[in-house]
Amino acid sequence: MNTYKLTLIALLASLAVVGRFMFQYIPSFQPVTTLIIISGFFLGPVSAVILALLVTYLSNLILGMGIWTIWQIIGWALIGLFSGFLGKIKMNRPVFLLVIFAIFSGYFYGLVVSLATAAVAGKFIPYYLAGLPFDTYHAIGNGLFMIILFPVLSRVFKKYNKQWIH
């Protein structure tokens, strides 16, 4: 991993932390998942996992740390891994497929965090059903952020890939 790639990950982490902080008043509506998916798609699964770790830790320093932090890292890291593998597949319409993946990721992330909390508190089904509206907000937000951010960030990543990957 070169310095330029680390700088790019740090820049994305700061963008995600600021975005998460900025949208904290809208439940489950945040650009973090989308940025992790886009970085995994273009930079690979390792970069997406590093980004997931950084964003979760740094944003939870501001928003509140707890037992959920570990499961947020796991959820976002798994999404980053999956998006890294998606990036290796040659796609004709990546925006459309990434929007669908982003929507799915909102529900997947909610499931991972709910499983962890249910393991501590018990009673998974009621807990998960109570959180389903928030997972839906997260999924809708992911889709919207993907539509907005992918065209802009894809230019940055394509320029990076042209310059630094041989």
Q: pLDDT by residue for the chain (166 residues), tens digit each?
A: 788 889 999 999 999 999 999 999 998 899 999 999 999 999 999 999 999 999 999 999 999 998 889 999 999 999 999 999 999 887 777 889 999 999 999 999 999 999 887 778 788 888 899 999 999 999 999 999 999 999 999 888 887 777 655 4
Structural domain contains residue 62:
yes
Any domain includes 17: no
Residue 25 lies in a domain: no
User: Rounded CA gap, 32 and 9, in Å?
Assistant: 13
Answer positive or negative: Cα dihedral of 112, 72, 132, 80.
negative
Whole-model pTM: value is 0.92
Tally of domains in the chain: 1
Rounded CA separation 165/82 (Å): 21
Instruction: Tell me whether residue 6 is in a domain.
Output: no
For residue 23, tell me if it sits in a domain.
Answer: no
| Within-domain flag for 133 | yes
In a domain, 165, yes or no: no
Domain assignment of residue 135, given as a range: 30-154
Torsion of CA 157, 29, 65, 56, to 10 degrees: -10
- The answer to whether position 19 is within a domain reads no
